[in-house]
């Protein structure tokens, strides 16, 4: 089939430069950037500061303060000053129950809310307040209305979190051109700035999440080869570890909200000081006049947080494996996120790759700059420097099959857009419907993966088991949205569904699942073997019982007893958990019925000769 469409850009009217921005909506800080005369720049506030602290203060008179001014009130009024709101986006109360925060949470279905003196605030509203500030800054600076924005999210953000981010943008009156993964945005900014060619690792340790992506850069094409991460790991965890250490050193136990907030701030400051100092003094006066005064050396800080740095290595290795690359294939490692300023993080990365990481772009700004570049392209401002991004899905997509097992249809790290079809068949004679259960995750059992959607294909014509041919097709578009359709091939009957959450996993769940998939690879293998053996044995059982009913008269009393015994022991094996025992019992059953099968064949042939229809047997 040949198709003809018009040249790209033909239908669009000749346009002037459209104002589009990239927004890095970070856990700790947020930024807005745009492309000016071909180069991306961060847009500063009226005091020349590019970073906007992601902090929002709500006052009793409904005044909303965002950024540095809000940060200044954090210690006095912790309950009404929202920090790190990104951690609550798209999360329920149960997701954040263990987090030590000064907030009064309101449990709401879907997403928690925060009780403030200015009323109940959803994390979406708090994020929208940050976005509104950035939008106002951009429009003042660019002198016009924005056509849209690319907003960055951690690669491992799930659909609820992505949807919450989109909702916040909508509340702020921003048209979202695309949600872009943070490490990918960084790679674009780094690659275009340095005219880089080759394979690069982006190591992104932000305030609340760790992402790693491997990209291949070739003549303006950015191809994501693999992405991985740990969505429960970030700079905040270093602050919390240090906070606990201060409590130990000062012999303190439970603190009130204000003191907790104060010591967390002191911990963060100490961490930052150690970036270019060997030691620092942590001094704070608590609300009961207790004086905390401890010295912290870089050595001690490294020691007490070494396990956090070590936690970044496994995702790195997994990404390299998925990309089928070794450490020697990597041309450079780009560090992103404020937490990568810590010297021992840099040392760990340098040691693993045998080279110093690249830090010639500001790790705080690089994500916003990359987002601005992608926004420029998606707004239709095609420049001379043509480049393209080829992204991947972070987790495998599959279907439930017999025995509670997952059959992967599209493996993780597949380049999008993509589609794949797989054929399935009916398991029972006369089966007229088939349930299609769409799953996401790396594990082998349905119960260990995330359920994305279910639907049913009905109206399959009754046929013997295994005769129907049902083709299930997965399609993932360039935005990562999945649609699934099922079609019975002989009749053409069809059913389909648009699965909105293509990333429908909470990031905790992804982290846990990935960790467990490594630990449980062996258990899964056993479960899979057992499941397969049971399915196989059950089909032999069913066939034997049906044959006994039809042609049982072909067996003598003793012969029949032998077959019955084999049936019973196969039933018993299926009830157990030993895959080998199931297989052996099924084999024994096969053996015990081989003579019976031969006699049935003879009878069928002789009946055929005497004019009966074979298919009646």
Partner 1 sequence: MTFDFSLPHFALFGLPTTFALDRNVLDAAYRKLQAEYHPDRFAAADDAQKRLSLQIATQVNQGYQALKSPLARARYLLQLNGVDTQEETNTAMPVDFLMQQMEWREAIGDAKAARHGDALEALAVEIAAATQTQIAELGQLLDQQQDWLAAAAAVRKLRFLEKLAEEVDDAIDVVMF
Interface ranges with partner 1 (CB under 8 A):
1-9, 11-12, 177, 218-221, 223, 313-314, 317-318, 321, 377-380, 386, 388-390, 414-420, 475, 477-478, 518-519, 521
Please give the span between the terminal C-alpha atoms of the chain, in angstroms, as a whole number: 46
Identify which of 299, 305, 290, 242 has the alpha carbon closest to the alpha carbon of residue 268: 242
Residue 335 C-beta: closest distance to partner 1, Å: 21
Residue 136 C-beta: closest distance to partner 1, Å: 25
Interatomic CA distance for residues 37 and 179, integer angstroms: 24
User: Which of 2, 609 has the CB closer to partner 1?
Assistant: 2
Quote the tokens at residue 495. Answer: 């059913």
User: Which of 5, 609 has the CB closer to partner 1?
Assistant: 5
Interatomic CA distance for residues 158 and 174, integer angstroms: 21
Residue 380 C-beta: closest distance to partner 1, Å: 4
Other CB atoms within 10 Å distance of the CB of residue 426: 21
User: Which of 132, 199 has the CB closer to partner 1?
Assistant: 199
Cβ atoms 192, 274 nearer than 8 A: no
User: Which of 407, 595 has the CB closer to partner 1?
Assistant: 407
Residue 44 C-beta: closest distance to partner 1, Å: 28
Interatomic CA distance for residues 356 and 157, integer angstroms: 29
User: Which of 60, 326 has the CB closer to partner 1?
Assistant: 326
332 preceded by a cis bond (ω within 30 of 0): no
Q: Which DSSP symbol is given to 356? A: P
Could you give the angle at which helices 298-310 and 343-353 cross, rounded to 10 degrees?
A: 50
Single out the catalytic residue among 167, 204, 211, 442: 204
The helix/strand/coil state of 195 is coil
User: Which of 418, 496 has the CB closer to partner 1?
Assistant: 418
204 is catalytic: yes
Burial grade of 131 (CB within 10 A; 0-12, 13-18, 19 or more): buried
Single out the catalytic residue among 24, 216, 391, 444: 24
Interatomic CA distance for residues 367 and 383, integer angstroms: 20
CA 242 to chain centre: 28
24 is catalytic: yes
Residue 306 C-beta: closest distance to partner 1, Å: 15
For 458, list phi and psi in degrees, rounded to 5. Answer: -110, 165
CA 235 to chain centre: 20
Residue 322 C-beta: closest distance to partner 1, Å: 10
Single out the catalytic residue among 45, 86, 364, 448: 86
Single out the catalytic residue among 45, 182, 211, 442: 182
Active site residues: 24, 86, 182, 204
């Amino acid at each position: 089939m040949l198709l003809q469409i018009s040249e790209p850009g033909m239908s669009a009217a000749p346009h002037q430069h459209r104002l589009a921005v990239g927004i890095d909506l970070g856990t700790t800080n947020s930024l807005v950037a745009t492309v000016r005369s071909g180069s991306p720049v961060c847009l500063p506030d009226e005091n020349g500061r590019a970073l906007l602290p992601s902090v929002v203060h709500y006052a009793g008179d409904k005044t909303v303060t965002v950024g540095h001014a809000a940060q200044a009130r954090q210690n006095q009024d912790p309950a009404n000053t929202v920090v790190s709101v990104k951690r609550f986006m798209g999360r329920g109360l149960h997701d954040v129950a263990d987090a030590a925060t000064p907030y009064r949470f309101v449990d709401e279905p879907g997403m928690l809310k925060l009780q403030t003196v200015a009323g109940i605030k959803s994390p979406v509203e708090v994020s929208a307040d940050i976005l509104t500030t950035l939008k106002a800054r951009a429009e003042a600076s660019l002198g016009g209305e924005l056509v849209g924005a690319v907003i960055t999210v951690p690669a491992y953000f799930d659909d609820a979190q992505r949807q919450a981010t989109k909702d916040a943008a909508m509340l702020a009156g921003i048209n979202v051109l695309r949600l872009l993964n943070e490490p990918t945005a960084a790679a674009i900014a780094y690659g275009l700035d340095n005219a880089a060619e080759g394979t690069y690792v982006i190591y992104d340790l932000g305030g609340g999440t760790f992402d790693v992506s491997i990209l291949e850069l070739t003549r303006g094409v950015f191809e994501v080869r693999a992405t991985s991460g740990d969505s429960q790991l970030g700079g905040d965890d270093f602050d919390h570890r240090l906070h606990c250490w201060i409590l130990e050193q000062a012999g303190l136990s439970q603190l009130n909200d204000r003191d907790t907030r104060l010591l967390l701030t002191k911990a963060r400051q100490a961490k930052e000081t150690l970036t270019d100092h060997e030691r620092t003094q942590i001094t704070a006066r608590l609300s009961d006049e207790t004086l905390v005064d401890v010295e912290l050396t870089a050595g001690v800080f490294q020691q007490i947080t070494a396990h956090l740095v070590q936690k970044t290595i496994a995702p790195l290795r997994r990404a390299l494996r998925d990309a089928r690359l070794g450490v020697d294939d990597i041309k450079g490692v780009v560090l992103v996120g404020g937490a990568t300023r810590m010297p021992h993080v840099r040392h760990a990365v340098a040691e693993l790759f045998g080279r110093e990481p690249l830090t010639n772009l500001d790790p705080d700004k690089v994500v916003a700059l990359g987002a601005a570049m992608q926004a420029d392209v998606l707004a239709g401002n095609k420049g001379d420097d043509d480049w393209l991004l080829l992204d991947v899905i972070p987790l495998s997509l599959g279907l439930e099959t017999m025995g509670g097992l997952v059959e992967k249809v599209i493996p993780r790290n597949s380049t999008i857009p993509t589609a794949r079809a797989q054929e399935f068949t009916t398991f029972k004679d006369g089966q007229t419907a088939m349930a299609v259960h769409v799953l996401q995750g790396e594990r082998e059992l349905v119960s260990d993966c995330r359920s994305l959607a279910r639907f049913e294909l009905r109206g399959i014509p009754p046929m013997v088991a295994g005769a129907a041919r049902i083709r299930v097709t997965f399609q993932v578009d360039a935005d990562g949205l999945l649609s699934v359709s099922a079609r019975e091939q002989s009749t053409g009957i069809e059913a389909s569904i648009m699965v909105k959450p293509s990333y429908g996993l909470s990031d905790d769940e992804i982290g846990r699942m990935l960790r467990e998939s490594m630990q449980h690879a062996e258990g899964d293998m056993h479960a899979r073997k057992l499941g397969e053996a049971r399915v196989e044995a059950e089909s032999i059982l069913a066939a034997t019982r049906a044959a006994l009913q039809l042609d049982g008269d072909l067996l003598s009393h003793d012969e029949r007893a032998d077959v019955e015994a084999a049936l019973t022991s196969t039933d018993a094996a299926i009830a157990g958990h030993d895959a080998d025992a199931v297989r052996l019992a099924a084999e024994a059953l096969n053996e015990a019925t081989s003579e019976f099968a031969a006699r049935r064949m003879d009878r069928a042939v002789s009946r055929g000769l005497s004019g009966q229809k074979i298919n009646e047997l």
